[in-house]
Structure formats: structure tokens, C-alpha cells
Structure 1
Amino acid sequence: MSDVARLQSLTDQLLTAARRAGADQADAVALDAAAVSVDVRGGRLEHAERAEGVEIGLRVLLGGRQACVSGSDPGAIDDMAARAVAMAREAPVDDHLGLAEPGQLTQDTDSSRLDLFDASPEPTPEDLQDAALRAEAAALAVPGVSQVETASAGHMRRWMWLQGTNGLSAGYARSAHSLSAVAITGTGTGMERDWAGEGRVHRADMPSAESIGQLAGERTVARSGAKKPPTGAFPILYDERVAAGLIGHLVGAVNGRAVARGASWLRDAMGQAVLPAGFDLIELPHLPRYGNSRLFDAEGLATAERALVRDGILQGWTLDLATGRKLGMASTANASRGTSSPPSPGVTNLALGQGSASRDDLIRDMGRGLIVTSMLGSSINATTGDYSRGASGFWVENGQITHAVNECTIAGNLRDMLMRITAANDARDWHAMRVPSLLVEGMTVAGA
């Protein structure tokens, strides 16, 4: 039996068992995944791991109540269904719950045109070890790198099938390749580290191991001699490496689940400016060879390109069926789910419009301020948008980078910050969030 046929058989068994146990409606998901990862250090293999298995999940709906169960034993399907129905009978009633109507389901379920699965020969553990060793060697070859903490390579393949009592029956296969390196410069209290890493659906699209290792080394050496920046109000340039995180706070705030709970700092912003004029934030779910692409969501609705923000104006929320019903709106086909949880809203690929200036142009124009290249910790008030995060990066004087900085905190309010951004033109392909470097005027830096 093929991988897909076996998964279809499992979801069919789950639905049959759910009906027999008394469910009004049900949907089931089956996953078959295999992953290999290799870590090297000091020119030798440090750790290798292979994980594989099948996981199944069942959601049952009964009189406005729902429950989810998951497991890895196909022999326990009847017990899973009985347990799920018993749990649903004790759950609170939510009249917004329910599967898609049959007429809402997509008829386009052939994901082959998205090219999400690498059919070329799977890399062997020896192949992965060789790639990691080459990345490590390239990092160590950068003058000033004292050691490589780790270099890692991995590969994953996954098959998924989703089926519902409403007639939904669809699935897809995905693959992923990854490679990263973490380098260290200095010793003792003067030690600094940085990293580089890439991931692709297809091995042929991966950068070379040498380029990844070299970049990790160069980034690390640039951090030598880092010290605290001054305290005050300064412009901050979010480097392309971290700028997606800033836009991610906006994406989280327009998630229908947060809006329906009233726990979003943009809950009253529909139709209002949330970015400067000229900025578009577009979801692109059908990009070929991108790991987050999909033709249909976890509830079987057809996905499509949509604007979250158009010319700076918020266009809509990110919705699945249940949150859409709570807000009196149609789903935006953004349901995501795992085997152990019900659907919830989530995005696929996002692209923020780029500016005309280069990153160097923005650095020159900012005069005196901070470039942020990494962040740690966070204190974000989901209701007010008040923002405070630990950061490190580089200090700028007279439009020139002077030295690396660490151990500082940056703060502001997201609603105000996002209305004061200027975009560079350096967004990179292959990222689920394609966002360029972003200059934010007038934030607070707490350093020395």
C-alpha cells in the first residue's frame, strides 16, 4: 500500500469509528513523517538522530461541542473515537463550531504544481555530515573565529491526509532541507557568537555549505568587542534578519482568534492606517517550492492571494471558519491544525512591499542610532501594543557603523512604531515572511 493510500485508510477508519461512537461531525488527519539530523563539532560527528512514525488525530463535534484526540497506534482507533466523543459531551457549547459546508470545499486538491516535495534521492546521513563539516570548516577559516559551537544539517519528508464527514478528502507531501552553523569569537567574558542558516524544500535550491559557514564566521567576527550603547531616543534599523519579527507582531494582532477575544492592539483598526501609505502586506499561498505554500487550508477551503494591508490600510482579519462566524465574517481560508488540536487561524507566505533605498542608504541617513541584528526575550502587551525587547547589533555614528553592541533593550509602542517605518530594498527570497530591513524613527534604547 502506498504512503497516501495508507493515510487515507487511517482517516477513513477514524471517521467510521467517530460516527459509530455517536459524533455528529468529525474530521481526521494522518501524518507520516521521517526526519534525519546531524550535528558536528571539532571536525567530528557529535550527534545524529533519525525519527519517523505515523501520527493520527481526530476531532469530533457533537451538539455544538468539540474534542480532539491524537495518537500513534492505528490499533487504538475505536478507543480514540470513544474517548473523543466522551470528552466532547463534557465540553462547553460553542455554536460557532462546525465543519465547512460541502459547497465550500475546494475541488482543486492536486498540489503537484506547487512542487512541495523533492523527489530526488534522499541525502544519506553521510551526505548530511559532509555538508555540516564543510560549513564548519568554512566558518573556522574566517580570521578571528575561535571555534564553531555546532554545525547542523537535516532533512525531512512528510505525507499528510485530511478527511471529514462533510466530504473533504485531500492531502499532500512536503520535504525540507536545512543547514546551519554557529560560530564563536573571543574568549571568556569577551566571547561573542552569531550564526547563519538556510532551509529549502528542494536540495537543489540550497546555498552551498561553504557560503553558509563563511557567513556565520563573518557575522561572528563582526561582533568582536561588543559593548552597551548609550541610553536615549534614537532611530533603529531592524536588519532584514529580524525585520520579519516586527511585522510578525502586526500579523499576530490581525489574527481573528485574538480579535474575537478582544486581545489585540488592532482590534478596532479595520479600515484604518496601520502602516505608512504605500505599504502592502500580501499573503501568497501558491508560491512554488516554498515550504508554507498550500492550495487548501486545514478545513478544506481554497486558498488565494489576499492583502492584509493595502496602501497602509488594514484590509481584514486572518480567519478560519469558527473565528469568522464569531466575527460575522467569512473564513479567509487560513485554518491550520495539527493532529492534537482543532483548527485555528494562521498565515502562509507573506511579502511586505520593498522601498527604493538600500540598507546602506538607510544607515547613512539615520545618522546616529542602532542596527538590530538579533533579539532575545520579549515583553509585548497584546492589548495595548507596548513593546520591549532585548537586542544586540551595531552602533551607527555619522551614518557609519562604528562598533558592535550588546546587552541593550529597545522599547516603544507597536502602533506608533509601524507608522514610522521606512523600508530598504534587501528582502530575500525563500523566506515565509519576505520583509526588507526596516528603519523605525524615535524608539527608546536603554544601554549604558
Structure 2
Amino acid sequence: MNDNAKPSPRFSYPSAVLQKIAQDVLDQARKSGATACETDISDAFGQNVTVRRGEVETIEYNRDKGLAVTVYIGQKRGHASTSDFAPEAINAAVAAALSIAGHTAADDCAGLADADLLAREFPNLDLYFPWDLPVEQAIELAKTCEAAAFAVDKRITNSEGASVSLSESQFVYANSLGFMGGYPGSRHSISCAVIASENDTMQRDYWYSVARDAADLEQADSVGRKAGARSVARLGARKIATCEVPVLFEAPVAVSLIGHFVGAVSGGSLYRQSSFLMDSIGKQVFAPDIQIRELPHLKKGLASEPFDNEGVATHERKVVENGVVQGYFLGSYSARKLGLRTTGNAGGNHNLILDNGAGLEFSALLKKMGKGVLVTELLGQGVNPVTGDYSRGAAGYWVEDGEIRHAVEEITIAGNLKNMLRGISAVGNDVIVRGSKQCGSLLIDRMTVAGG
């Protein structure tokens, strides 16, 4: 364990104390009649500073802790939680979970993860980087960020604020199969949102950067400049006539398409038969040159984990190969419902990376599209996870002859996700890492764009 893996003394509890509490929970559950038990104990703190129009608007500190316990009586399950670590509160939580289990019907898929799948090794993935950021320094960073946005153009007339946030946490997960593991983690960010005005019209846009290590964040002034430039670029937005054209999803919104795919091939959707991608293993879902890998052990990865929420070891795998689905996203319960084994995804996916082997520069994507719509913002939630029908409000830019001509607003883009995923004709190399899914801009060969 290197220095970056050591918990900060700023946590409320040493990790050894969390481990002791976890063991006490397991012991209490066993003594009270549980046949199996698992518990998750966490301790976190954060700081957020927001500056608006050069003045401090908010300074927030948070300190949180929590304990969750799940007990099994045979295959009857009960769950309870508390934010109080006092022994009597912990005992009460265990008793509450047992009481719930006693009144719950047996479920033959319920239970702890299979013992042979639990993690036995815990590689250091460089997930924890304390940020020693005095509030005065955070305020100056936020002011620098916002000032850079205002300096972009005199048409930047207002601000929703610039924020600098740090967040650090640690946890311990343990179960009655003898598993106990945990580690600290961090997540820091800088963001800015400003408003541009011209001829009685206003447009808003934003930019942000997030990383586990503050040293990997975009510079504050760069974040501000991008927020300002994006807001100004949206001035003069027009409506367009309804048409069928290619649509280019800018990288920050393109990841939402990967999110819809993940939701459709996740255990809950599959065993409830509420997915547009039922029985998709071995089937062509994406364009033939699309690859998606899951890389849970990336150093500093925002979704890196040595084990999932059930203690199951995580492994690198190919989720999509040459457009063909190779695997689902399953925890133990959903896997048993489907007659399969967990994929180590209890709690979600880990660093999904989409590529097609030859990512294009953004300018090349525009040239390849020729004429169509570049989408930079999505609005609303018009996606049917059962049928795959897709219809969302959007804003962005009209592109003609491979060049951006003007901003567009009040449009709706529509299609079906099955056709959209198969219709990815190009992938950009402009990957922006902000979460558990990573891809460049995605060009969809054809969608319906409804204008005004």
C-alpha cells in the first residue's frame, strides 16, 4: 500500500475502527439467529465553495457516516441502516433487519455472493488523493475560473457560479463468508456555468472537470474559458425545419447512449423482461467495428474497484466485440434469476471504454457528417427502455458542408436505440473522462430531427 492509499487523518474514524464495527455487526447478527449477513460501513467528508459574480455565494462542509446491514434467515432477507455508530444503535439496526427478514417471503435467489468468486487480492488502484485545500484557496480558484469565463467575451453578462469541490471517503464491506475489504477514495471537481446575452436573448452553457487526483483536474481558468466560449457560441440559435439527417453526439452527451445500452443489458432489466435488448448475448447490437471493454483496474479510474458491492472480484473483460454483445452486467441476485453467474457488477459498471480502433478528430467527424446536427445538450427523459424508442429535446449546432453554421434550439431528435447503436458510423478521439463510461463523440448515420 503506497502513501496515496493511506486514509486521511481528517476522516472521523480510523479504518481499523470501521473494520471492528463491521465484525461486531456480523457477530451480533449470527448470535441473533441470522444464517448469513453482510454489512457496509462508510465515512466521508467534503467541501464545496461556489463563487458568483466574483463574490462568495456558498461555502459548504459535509461529514457523513453510515452503516447498512443485510441479514438472511435461510433465504429470507432483511435490510436496515443507521447513521449512528453507537453499540445500541448498531444492535437496533441488526434487530430491525432480522425482524424484516422474519416477515419476508423466502426467495430462492437471495443470499450472499458465491464464496469462490470473492476477491482474495486487493491491488492498489491509486483511488485516493487527499486534497489539502484551504477554503481561502478554493475561493481563489473559483474566482479565477469565473473571471476567465467573463473574460472570453463582453457578451458574457451573468453567471450561475463557479464551484470547487473536494470529496473523500472510506468504507469497509464484510460478510459472514469471511470476506472483509475496503479502501479510501477521492473525487474532486471544478465547474463553471455562465450566461451570454445578445439582442434580448440569453444562452447558458457550462464546463467542468472531475478527477480523483486534484493534479489531474483541468486548470481553473481553462474550465472557465470553455464555459464562456460555449455560452457565446450558442448565441443566435435558430429553429430548423424537420428533417432526417446524421446526428453527431458530442462526447459529453454521447456517453448517455452507452448508458442506455448498459441499462438494457443489466440484470434487473433482463430478469424483469423490461429491456429492448433481451437475449442479446452473441448478437450484433452495435456497428461491426465497435468494441467496448470493461477495465475495473485502471489506475486512478473514476469507476475502478478491486471488488464489487458484494465482495466479488472484478476482472477486465470484453463487453462488446466487433459490435457483438459478449456479456451482461449482473450482480448475484440478478444472475441467479437468469440462471447465470455474477459478472462482478453489483453496484454498477467499471470504466467502460468504447472505441472503434480509429477514432477521428472532431473536425474529421464534422466533415464525415457533411450536413446534419451536432448535439451538445439533451433535454427530457423520452427514452422507452422496453422498446428502445428514443425521443429527446436537444440543442446544438447545424452543420453543412462539414462546418458548423449556426446554433440550433427547440429541436427534438428521435429514433430507436437499436437502430442508433447499429448506426454508429464514426467515433471521435475526443474522450472526456468524467465518470464510469468513456467514449468520444458518436456519429449516428440517420435520425429524425423535428424542428419548429
TM-score (norm 2): 0.93
What is residue 3 of structure 2 aligned with on the other side?
none
Distance 1:102 1:248 in 2: 30
Amino acid at match of 1:191: M
| Deviation (angstroms), 1:20 | 2.6
Q: Specify which of 133, 139, 146 is matched with residue 129 of structure 1.
A: 139
Residue 176 of structure 1 contacts residue 199 of structure 1 at CA under 8 Å; is this kept in 2? yes
Which of 402, 406, 430 aligns to 1:403? It is 406
Equivalence for 2:351: 349
Cα deviations by residue, 1:58-105 (Å, 9 ceiling, x for unpaired): 011122121211111112011111111111122232101111243332
Match in the other structure for 1:416: 419
- Deviation string 1:242-295 (CA, Å, 9 cap, x unpaired) is 111112111111101111110110013221100111211111101101121011
Moved more, 348-357 or 375-384: 348-357
Report the TM-score when normalising by structure 1: 0.94
Query: Residue by residue, what CA displacement relative to the aligned partner does 1:357-378 show, whole Å, maximum 9, x if unpaired?
Result: 3221221232221100011112
Match of 2:6 in 1: none
Match of 1:328 in 2: 339
Give the Cα–Cα distance (whole angstroms) in 2 for the partners of residues 183 and 322 of structure 1.
45
**What percentage of residue pairs aligned between the two structures are identical?**
38
Q: Partner amino acid for 2:149?
A: A
1:88 to 101, 114, 127: 101
Task: State the partner residue of 1:258.
Answer: 269
- The offset of 1:189, in angstroms, is 5.7
- 2:92 maps to a residue whose letter is D
CA distance in 1: counterparts of 2:385 and 2:241, whole angstroms: 28
1:376 equivalent in alignment to 2:386: no
Which 10-residue stretch deviates more, 301-310 or 97-106? Answer: 97-106
Find the counterpart in structure 2 of residue 390 from structure 1. 393
Alignment of 1:7-406 (within 5 A): 7-75=18-86, 76-109=89-122, 111-112=123-124, 114-119=125-130, 122-143=132-153, 144-186=155-197, 190-336=201-347, 346-354=348-356, 355-406=358-409
Q: Deviations over 1:82-140 (max 9, x none)?
A: 1111111222321011112433321112x42x111114x52111121111110000000
Amino acid at match of 2:139: Q
Matched pairs, number: 436
- Using the alignment, how far apart are the partners of 2:359 and 2:165 within structure 1? 36
Report the AA paired with residue 151 of structure 1.
Answer: A
**Aligned CA distance change for structure 1 residues 162 and 356 (closer, same or farther; 3 Å):** closer
Which deviations, in whole Å up to 9, do the C-alpha atoms of 1:339-398 show, x marking residues without a partner? xxxxxxx10101001434322122123222110001111211111101111100001122
Unaligned runs of 5+ in 2: 1-11
The letter of the residue matching 1:64 is Q
Partner of 1:31: helix, strand, or coil?
A: strand
Displacement, 1:19? 1.8
Aligned 8 A contact 2:252 2:432 in 1: no
8 Å CA contact retained: 1:198, 1:206 = yes
The CA deviation at 1:415 is 0.3
Alpha-carbon distance in 2 for matches of 1:430, 1:414: 23
Aligned mates of 1:264, 1:188 — CA distance in 2: 46
Tell me how far apart the structure 2 counterparts of residues 311 and 426 of structure 1 sit (CA, whole Å): 18
1:45/1:166 CA distance change after superposition, 3 Å: same
SS of residue matched to 1:191: strand
Structure 2: which amino acid aligns with 1:434? Q
Cα deviation 1:377-434 (Å, max 9, x = unaligned): 1211111101111100001122221110111111100001111112233232533322
Do the aligned partners of 1:174 and 1:291 also contact (CA within 8 Å) in 2? no
CA shift for structure 1 position 142: 0.6
Is the Cα contact below 8 Å between 1:278 and 1:311 reproduced in 2? yes
1:190 positional shift = 1.1
Counterpart amino acid of residue 437 in structure 2? M
Three-state SS of the structure 2 residue aligned to 1:302 is coil
Identify the residue that residue 9 of structure 2 maps to in structure 1: none
1:342 paired residue number = none
**CA RMSD of the aligned region, Å?**
1.5
Unmatched tracts of structure 1, length 5 or more: 337-345
Q: Does the aligned pair in 2 maintain the 1:101–1:166 contact within 8 Å? A: no
